[in-house]
Chains A and B, each alone.
Chain A
Amino acid sequence: MTSISPPVQPRSVRSVRRGRGSRVEGRGWLFVAPFLVVFALVFLAPIAYAVWLSLFREQVFFGGTEFVGLDNYAAVLGDGKFWESFLRVLVFLVVQVPVMLGLALVAALAIDSARLHAAGLFRIVIFLPYAVPGVVAALMWGFIYGDHFGLAADLNEWLGRKVVEPLSGDWILASIGNIVTWEFVGYNMLILYSALKVVPHDLYEAAAIDGAGALRTVVSVKLPAIRGALMIATIFSIIGSFQLFNEPNILRSLAPNAISTFYTPNMYAYNLSFGGQQYDYSATVAIVMGVITAVIAYVVQLRGSRKGA
């Protein structure tokens, strides 16, 4: 069982249809083509264009661009700002993703366990933050963190001294992690819960007959059964962490000293383009990040499906 694979049709059905020849089967293109055309325009063309751009460099004094081969890539790989931002999202990923997926898994198992009062309420409320735009979530938490009228200010006042400072340099990465966790636990919970719901019930029965308790059933039956869903949730979360942009970009107006213009790779690429007009270099940063993300996502998927085999 791999996590992502094209759905397979039963063989008997296939052999019946083969008799009708490829005329009917060829009609499949009719349905797929419109999607592929737009896909080529907004996915493939920009990738090709970015690769093209990354081979050039703007001339500062003379205008125009000059072909520089792989110089931009060498520059990115030797760029301290790039690596600083990369390490930051890596730390973020290593801490935030396990916390978020752990919470999502516990919530999904609890809701699925039938031991919860009002399980339906829990499911919908925990999912609710997903419907809140990232911008609104960041603004809302930013206010709550803030000194003006936030809950952090209330708490400090109550305690009599400045204990929590979510917008200070030491706290800010954790504060961003909290916003992202708040937003996406419910979404991941839903992916895992949907997978749990279709685990065949006779597996539980068999486990019960073997004398397995609730915890044992979770570890030996439920977790292996939802490995594919866990893998998808993990890959999406890794991609999301590497793309981190909205939350730090919005909090920047509240904490300009704690969040630099190259706080995450994506903010770096954005500010290179729209603050510095260095489009070629910015495209190179984007490609390097894209390749790193794709490789890591691929490795995770490979490891996951090998274990699942």
Chain B
Amino acid sequence: MTTTNSVLKPRRSPVLTAVMALYLVYTLLPLAWLLISATKTQQDLLSTSGLAPGGTFALFDNIGQTFTHDDGIFLRWLGNTLLYVVLGAGGATVLATAAGYGLAKYRFRGRRAVFAVLLGAIAIPGTALAVPTFLMFSNLGLTNTPWAIIIPSLVSPFGLYLVWTYATEAVPDELLEAARIDGAGEVRIFLTVTLRLLLPGVVTVALFAVVSTWNNYFLPLIMLSEPDWYPLTVGLNQWSAQASGVGAQPIYHLVVTGSLITIVPLVIAFLLLQRFWQSGLTAGSVKQ
């Protein structure tokens, strides 16, 4: 084997694989703990070792209890989370896609200024805005309503940047020109020609927007005081605080099982859409 070959087509290394496998164990350990713990009764949870199975297999019992505890409030939280994700992340994807495309393919006046403002926005800590946003929304009477969560979720500067770079690569100007010569309007071109080409980029943006909305904690924590509007994240933490607070009502098994249920949909989404988001991200990094 020549040197050239060993660099371009190297042999697989068991040592490197073993070292990386250690990291894999670290990554999976807490998830394995969560999965095992979700199969235990409250009693087993407290009495048996963390990674050992409990005396009884209580996973389905736990899931049932999670959904029925406190008049089924968990189901309500799940529904709220879905509402925020569909409207918030969905809206964020639509806005970022249109704006990213507009910035990539039209050379209008003020385009540079838009870029400068967005760059500044990325550098501002999102949570630094939380208190003033809360006060503003409070004056507008929007706190304690779903709008307080949905409206701020609509803006994703990172998503816009991703579509922008993606559209520059994926949408040929010649194609747009041809469509214009055929007499198609700009919106129609966007809907019929561009969207199809942008799909991997759009799926990537959507997926990341879904994750950030699904996982949102700080914003709902300050905006909502009414448990009926909580998303899963805030609700779970409230259960956890109940379990360890004064006069605690021990519902650790529900916190554990609820955590597992919260993770599962996103993990499935990432696994199923792997092909899309990996190509979307790669194209996004061409320009870096």
Contact = CB atoms under 8 A, between A and B. Distances in A.
Is the pairing of A and B real? Answer: yes
Given A31-B106, A115-B12, A289-B125, A253 B240 contact: yes
B74 interface: no
B285 A140 contact: no
B102 A29 contact: yes
Contact of B222 (A25, A113, A270): A270
Contact of B151 (A42, A143, A191): A42
A229 B46 CA distance: 45
B215 A198 contact: no
A39 B91 CA distance: 13
B20 A38 contact: no
Interface in B153-190: 154-155, 157, 160-161, 164-165, 168-169, 173-174, 177, 180, 186-187, 190
A253 to B, nearest CB: 5
A239 B157 CA distance: 15
B178 to A, nearest CB: 12
Interface in A1-57: 1, 3-7, 9, 13-14, 16-17, 20, 22, 24-32, 34-36, 38-39, 41-43, 45-47, 49-50, 53
How many of chain A's residues touch chain B, expressed as a range? 35 or more
Contact of B30 (A140, A232, A294): A140
Most buried by A among B19, B127, B240: B127
B131 A50 contact: yes
Contacts of A298: 123
A190 B168 CA distance: 21
Contact of B129 (A46, A115, A274): A46
A6 B270 contact: no
Interface string B232-246: 111011001100110
B114 A214 contact: no
A211 B7 CA distance: 10
A279 B135 contact: yes
Contacts of B112: 6
A246 interface: yes
B202 interface: no
B8 A204 contact: yes
Most buried by B among A42, A124, A125, A209: A42
B79 to A, nearest CB: 17
A122 B8 contact: no
Contact of B190 (A26, A31, A32, A213): A31
B217 A194 contact: no
Given A124-B271, A126-B23, A194-B282, A208 B7 contact: yes
Contact of A17 (B121, B124, B173, B269): B173
Nearest to B94: A34
Contacts of A273: 131, 134, 222
Contact of A136 (B49, B103, B130, B236): B236
Given A49-B136, A125-B27, A217 B168 contact: no
B106 A24 contact: yes
A143 B30 CA distance: 10
A82 interface: no
Interface in B61-116: 95-96, 98-99, 101-112, 114-115
Interface stretch (A59-67, A92-100, A127-135, A169-177): A127-135
Contact of B125 (A5, A150, A242): A242
A143 to B, nearest CB: 7
Contacts of B130: 270, 286
A201 B7 CA distance: 11
Contact of B123 (A47, A151, A229, A239): A239
Task: Determine the main DSSP class of A at the interface with B.
Answer: helix
Contacts of A36: 99, 114
A41 to B, nearest CB: 7
A71 interface: no
A185 B109 CA distance: 40
A223 interface: no
A126 B27 CA distance: 6
Interface of A: 1, 3-7, 9, 13-14, 16-17, 20, 22, 24-32, 34-36, 38-39, 41-43, 45-47, 49-50, 53, 103, 107, 110, 113-118, 122, 124-137, 139-144, 148-151, 153-154, 182, 185-186, 190-191, 194-195, 197-198, 201, 204-205, 207-209, 211-214, 217, 226, 228-229, 232, 235, 239, 242-243, 245-246, 250, 253-254, 266, 269-270, 273-274, 279, 282-283, 286-287, 289-290, 293-294, 297-298
22 contacts: A7-B168, A24-B106, A35-B99, A49-B132, A110-B20, A113-B10, A128-B270, A134-B215, A134-B233, A135-B234, A135-B237, A139-B240, A140-B34, A143-B252, A150-B50, A154-B50, A198-B282, A209-B4, A235-B123, A243-B128, A274-B222, A289-B128
The 7 A-B residue pairs with the shortest CB-CB distance, nearest first, are A28-B106, A31-B102, A228-B288, A35-B99, A7-B168, A133-B215, A50-B132
Interface of B: 3-4, 6-14, 16-17, 19-20, 23-24, 26-28, 30-31, 33-34, 37, 45-46, 48-51, 95-96, 98-99, 101-112, 114-115, 118-121, 123-136, 151-152, 154-155, 157, 160-161, 164-165, 168-169, 173-174, 177, 180, 186-187, 190, 211, 214-215, 217-218, 222, 232-234, 236-237, 240-241, 244-245, 252, 255-256, 259, 262-263, 266-267, 269-271, 274, 278, 281-282, 284-288
